[in-house]
Structure 1
Amino acid sequence: MDIRQLEIFVCVAERLNFTESAKHLYLTQSAVSLQIADLEKQLDVKLFVRNSHSVQLTEAGRFFLKEAKFIIAAAEEAIIKTRHIASGFAGTLKVGFLESHTKHFLPKLVKDFRSSYPKIKLILTQLNWGDLNLALERGELDVGLTMSASLQNTPRVVWQTLYHDVECFVMPNDHPLANQPQPDLAAIAQEPFVVLNREVAPFPYDFTLRLCANRGFTPNFVERPYLTETLLTLVESGEGIAILPFFTTKPYVSPNLRFIKLEGDDAQVEMVASWKRTNRNPAIPLFLNKARGAIQFFQNSMRLPDIPE
């Protein structure tokens, strides 16, 4: 028994005429009769009562007509859903993002994506740096929104750049060094620093150390909070200065904080969308396209000082 055989049965059952059904199906009448006879043999029941004047459904035939229509409809729906999933227009997309680095574009991205692809179930999970990388490698996420430099030790993960950013010294507006056109590294080296705890943010912690080492000093970490919001509060309170990326941080921080760009190629960073190399989820490129659109919207609406394209 196959779908085509069921379609033939339904056609005959609805018309109760083998000749008319054969014309509709573009088959010979004998071919239709053979298919019905084979179906009755498989079911071991009579579906039709036939004589020289009429064709009528048996009680079993009337019941089977309902079931056959249901099976055909279910098969058609399965085909449509499968094609939608293959084209990325249905299914599930699991996206992981960092605690603070996506606040300026993620709400618009999610809204635009869900509006364009309502049949794709979008699952969002906030993770710290280490857990996000691990989830990508384990295949627990389809897409991770993170920094490319944090993925250097994840060979099975690939990424696409969403935008470039630049690291900055961040300090209160009333800090003695806040109004210098160029940072006085000798003076900054004497300042206390606030950095995210390495337990939740190994890349920012090590990256801050490396940036400072490249400028000839080792930072004095006086606070190691677990959340970026806490870090910014501590900086604004005068507990210490920090090194943070401009574009990912500036849009939502207090206006009482001053950003001073670090010079040098090592201070350039990339925000990326990443995924496991073997992940073939067709919704990934759809999400990347919407991500670029959402980010372009903010780049057009925010003046970024000398951030490379």
Structure 2
Amino acid sequence: MEIEWLRTFIAAAQTENFRQAAESRFITQSTVSKHIQHLEKALQTSLFERHSKHVKLNYLGTHFLRQAEKIVATVDEAVQSTQSLKSGFTSQLTIGVAPQIANSTLPAIIERFQQQKPAIQLSVELLKSNEIGEAVYAGAVDIGLSKLTSTRDVQTKILAKEPLQLIVPIGKKNIDPMMLLQQETILTHEYSPYWQEVQQVLQQLPSYKSMQLNQTEVIKNFVKQGLGIAFLPQSVIESVYHEQLLHSYSVKAFSHIVSNTYFLSKYVTANSEAFLAVCTAIYKNR
């Protein structure tokens, strides 16, 4: 039984269409048919119900699909780990990270970690903050960098408590921030854990309006385009601030509100502790 037969079978099972399977595998349709025939002969059973030009996975085919996916995944993992070892890597660390962190502090963290631990291969999975705890708990990622804690039983450490900055378009930097809060649309992230605290202060104003977005980078772009203002942690706005594309205020009425960044892990390992040490150092120096 050849691994390529299994790859073809998985593609055909997922699409239940030999032509589409051929296109996804970059082989001919006749090759797909031959691979399936070889596989069925080896297993001594049919895996598909065939109706004219259509095929449908049968009961045994559905069972075998799960086994085939496990076999292919094991082979791929073995090949990847061997190639990593050949390239000088001795272990791997998978990081689940929120986009807000990936677009701000993560590059500096990775750069320093790779300098200190060049034999560890890093891989990054971009996830929403509310998904990271589950991914860590399930073992889909080794560690998580999130703006939210998790309801799962994972180890949680605070990396940073950052005061919020009010960011506004550079052309409005001379306008009183409290006036801007009443005049401009306040843009907020759907997973901002500090938004409720911000709202409590805003409710003391005569009026305000807000708009919810789902990405911090979109919020910053909207502000640059003059479409609103926003409260964001300092680490998130450093690059655009230094480029003088935005202006930021520390507004006294909101000075008690902070944005937390969390390090999540299920197990304590030498690799995770080394990565935590780098994260701590990077945030401490900001």
TM-score (norm 1): 0.54
Conserved in 1, the CA contact under 8 Å of 2:194 and 2:257? no
User: 1:27-106 maps to which residues of 2 (within 5 A)?
Assistant: 90-106=90-106
Conserved in 1, the CA contact under 8 Å of 2:133 and 2:152? no
- Partner Cα separation in structure 2 for residue 269 and residue 227 of structure 1: 16
Residue 71 of structure 1 is matched in structure 2 by none
- Partner Cα separation in structure 1 for residue 110 and residue 283 of structure 2: 12
SS in 1 for 2:227: coil
After TM superposition, give the deviation of residue 219 of structure 1 in Å.
4.8
Residues 262, 90 of structure 1: alpha-carbon distance in 2 compared, 3 angstrom cutoff? farther
- Partner Cα separation in structure 2 for residue 219 and residue 194 of structure 1: 11
After TM superposition, give the deviation of residue 171 of structure 1 in Å.
0.8
SS in 2 for 1:122: strand
Residue 141 of structure 2 is matched in structure 1 by 141
Out of 176, 192, 199, the position equivalent to 1:212 is 199
Residue 118 of structure 2 is matched in structure 1 by 118
Residues 112, 187 of structure 1: alpha-carbon distance in 2 compared, 3 angstrom cutoff? closer
Out of 256, 279, 285, the position equivalent to 1:291 is 279
Residues 288, 243 of structure 1: alpha-carbon distance in 2 compared, 3 angstrom cutoff? same
Conserved in 2, the CA contact under 8 Å of 1:142 and 1:281? no
- Partner Cα separation in structure 2 for residue 273 and residue 169 of structure 1: 25
Conserved in 1, the CA contact under 8 Å of 2:163 and 2:255? no
Conserved in 1, the CA contact under 8 Å of 2:134 and 2:152? no
- Partner Cα separation in structure 2 for residue 117 and residue 159 of structure 1: 23
- Partner Cα separation in structure 2 for residue 139 and residue 262 of structure 1: 41
After TM superposition, give the deviation of residue 91 of structure 1 in Å.
2.8
Out of 257, 263, 286, the position equivalent to 1:273 is 263
Residues 117, 155 of structure 1: alpha-carbon distance in 2 compared, 3 angstrom cutoff? same
After TM superposition, give the deviation of residue 108 of structure 1 in Å.
3.0
Residues 262, 136 of structure 1: alpha-carbon distance in 2 compared, 3 angstrom cutoff? farther
CA RMSD of aligned residues (A): 2.8
Out of 229, 233, 238, the position equivalent to 1:245 is 233
Identity of aligned residues (%): 19
Residue 257 of structure 1 is matched in structure 2 by 246
Query: How big is each residue's C-alpha offset from its partner over 1:121-148, in whole Å with a ceiling of 9 and x where there is no partner?
Result: 322111122222321232322211123x
After TM superposition, give the deviation of residue 192 of structure 1 in Å.
1.2
- Partner Cα separation in structure 2 for residue 285 and residue 103 of structure 1: 23
- Partner Cα separation in structure 1 for residue 94 and residue 220 of structure 2: 29
After TM superposition, give the deviation of residue 190 of structure 1 in Å.
4.0
After TM superposition, give the deviation of residue 271 of structure 1 in Å.
2.3
Out of 194, 207, 221, the position equivalent to 1:233 is 221
- Partner Cα separation in structure 1 for residue 170 and residue 112 of structure 2: 36
- Partner Cα separation in structure 2 for residue 140 and residue 292 of structure 1: 23
SS in 2 for 1:169: strand
Which amino acid letter does the alignment assign opposite residue 210 of structure 1?
E
Residues 118, 140 of structure 1: alpha-carbon distance in 2 compared, 3 angstrom cutoff? same
Residues 146, 249 of structure 1: alpha-carbon distance in 2 compared, 3 angstrom cutoff? farther
Unaligned regions of 5+ residues in structure 1, if any? 1-88, 300-309
Larger radius of gyration: 1
